Amino acid sequence: MSNKGVRFVAFLLIVFVGPAWDAAAQTSEDLYAHGMKAAQQGHYTQAIRYFQHAIQRDPTSAQAYAGLGTVYMQISQFAEAEVALKQALDIAPGLLQAEANLALLYTRTERNAAAIDLYGKLSRDHPDSLQIQVGLATAYQKASRFAEAIDAYHRTLNLSPKLAEAMTNLASCYEAVKQQEQAIRYYTSALAVNPELSMANGNLGAIYQKQGELDKARPLLEKAIRLDPNFTAASYRLGLIASKHREFQRAVDLYRRVIAQHPDHIGAYYNLAQALFRLKQAAEGRRAMETYRRLNAIAQEIDTRERAILLEPSNPRKQYQLGGTYEKHGKFDKALEAYQKAVKLQPEYAAAHYKLGKLYFREGRFSEAENAYLSAIAVAPEQAALHAGLGAVYYVQDRFEDALAEYKTAIVYDASLVHAQVGIAVIHHRRGEFEDARAAYQNALKLDADAHYALNGLARLYLEGTSRRGWGTQSLPPAKRAAKIQETVALAEKAVRLAPIPQYLQTLALAYFQAGAHQKALKAIQTAIEMEPENSAFRETWAKMKEADEKTK
């Protein structure tokens, strides 16, 4: 769905071009044919194997590479697909299957300019190819080059006058350039060909709703939702009509449906509040109003940042600030994009590299995180936080020596960096170097007595000591052992108090259990399970505790 709420139809087809199936084949060509057959039947893993074998037999088989790339694209492995398709084109420049699918790949991966270039070339070479015209039109549409998209869709319709999806997309392009009458014309034509096209129903209904033609809009929107219950824009527009017709309960139901599908939908919250006030459900109305205000404030903050970039598109600082705003409001994909633009504009922008490192790390893209931190360190080698961040990247990849080195470097530059101290502690902990781990955790807590991750880590360390000979409470005399267990409970309780996250609750449950407070332990682990119902480790802990508790009874 586009950002204006107008949907367009994705009806690009992957191009499989190949010879007929021959079961007895063993040559590269035969393996290729097997691959094609498997791909056409939807057996993609099998197809990949066939194509790979075909390439092994004949590394110059452009068709096999093209087939392989096509299958990868079918299963959305775009990086592998791109490599294979480009290899095919290296071997056989101009190979239709490879070029067409590479263009499609560009469209799917939002590289619209590249898609337009390639489709443009293909369109000149194959002006009568429906799929290429559709591809070109779609690429233009995705790039918001609506005038060219309109031309391309018209060419598509010249080739296939009854293609309802092309009519729908053409109509949505007309909508984008505010030619409402043309949009109505083509949506109507699309529906004449295929009345069951949800997007044409919904988009046409939305136009009529905006024009105040509520009687025309209503049945179209109703139908769109019947065909596609997840058509958010149609539900929203129908809600507005229900409000106008004073069917406020129906409107409330529709707005709630919209919010369920799109929790940030400001308009739905606004109109939900209005409808609730009309129904004299003041308390609920106020709640919806408060949510509206919160979301609206976020939207306005982002809007302000985005407009600042329109005025100064080459200013890396503005991109950085936009990234920060996105990040603050949990829009991490967009934050990443903004930080990437910032470093593209200013390659030595250490703060932006640092932010990229953090976000890549968050997404588990460790190699990119490492590169980002290294880029930042190259610019600002004495920034402790950069080394601590890089240490974390190494740690999660079990590169403990590298991680330790980075954490220690971080502490050299900033001895008060708690994260680095805890990082060191955790590495020692993982390695079974318990005394070193304890010392590091305690160092961290000296720096910040409320460092909940250090509190939890130390509690865990003590708990594990009970099951390890020669270390921890296990080796202590009973009185000292009891005191140590109480200390563990206190650490875990404080960690939970400071940050009630399920992992800390699990630690607390274990501590309580060891202290003999079974009911408290069970309650704590139950709370953790409620917070993360899918966490099997929590359920396992609960089962073991329950079993042990039953036995003691």
Residue ranges in contact with other proteins by CB under 8 A: 180, 209-212, 214, 240, 243-244, 266-267, 269-271, 273-274, 277-278, 285, 289, 292, 296, 300, 304, 307, 311-315
The CA R_g of the chain, rounded to the nearest whole Å, is: 30
- Provide, rounded to whole angstroms, the least separation between the CB of residue 298 and other proteins: 13
Angle between helices 130-142 and 146-159 (to 10 degrees): 160
Distance of CA 306 to the CA centre of its chain: 21
Nearer to other proteins, 212 or 470 (CB): 212
Provide, rounded to whole angstroms, the least separation between the CB of residue 252 and other proteins: 15
* Residue 20 or 310 with smaller CB distance to other proteins: 310
Question: At which residue do the structure tokens 């329109």 appear?
Answer: 310
Cβ atoms of 410 and 385 closer than 8 Å: yes
Residue type, 14: I
The secondary structure of residue 473, as a DSSP letter, is G
Cβ 244 to other proteins, closest distance in Å?
6
Cβ neighbours around 547 below 10 Å, total: 9
State which residue, 312 or 333, has the beta carbon closest to other proteins.
Answer: 312
Q: Where are the alpha helices (DSSP H) in 58-179?
A: 62-74, 78-91, 96-108, 112-125, 130-142, 146-159, 164-176
Which is nearer to other proteins, 87 or 243 (by Cβ)?
243
Of 320, 326, 324, the residue nearest 340 (C-alpha): 320
- Least distance in angstroms from the C-beta of 210 to other proteins: 6
User: Closer to other proteins at the Cβ: 273 or 386?
Assistant: 273
Q: What are the Cα distances from residue 347, in Å, to 167, 316, 353, 403, 475?
A: 45, 10, 9, 25, 55
Distance between terminal CA atoms of the chain? Answer: 60
Q: Please, are residues 69 and 99 in contact by the beta-carbon 8 Å criterion?
A: no
CB of 304 to other proteins, least distance (A): 6
Nearest distance in Å: CB 313, other proteins: 7
Region of 15 please: left (phi>0), alpha (psi -120 to 50) or beta: beta
Nearest residue (CB) to other proteins, 182 versus 194: 182
Least distance (Å) from other proteins to the CB of residue 270? 3
State the nearest-atom distance from the C-beta of 276 to other proteins, in Å.
Answer: 10
CA torsion angle 108 113 115 116 (round to 10): 130
Instruction: Kindly give the residue spans of alpha helices, DSSP state H, lying in 312-365.
Output: 316-328, 332-345, 350-362
Nearer to other proteins, 23 or 310 (CB): 310
Distance CA 136, CA 152 (A): 7
Least Å distance between CB 452 and other proteins?
A: 37
Of the pair 24, 310, the CB lying nearest other proteins is at 310
Beta-carbon contacts of residue 424 (< 8 Å; ≥ 6 apart)? 404, 407, 408, 411, 436, 440
Measured in residues, the chain has a length of 553
CB nearer to other proteins: give 314 or 536: 314
Cα dist from 387 to 70, 310, 408, whole Å: 42, 34, 8
Q: Nearest approach, Cβ of 371 to other proteins (angstroms)?
A: 29
Cβ proximity to other proteins: between 270 and 538 the closer is 270
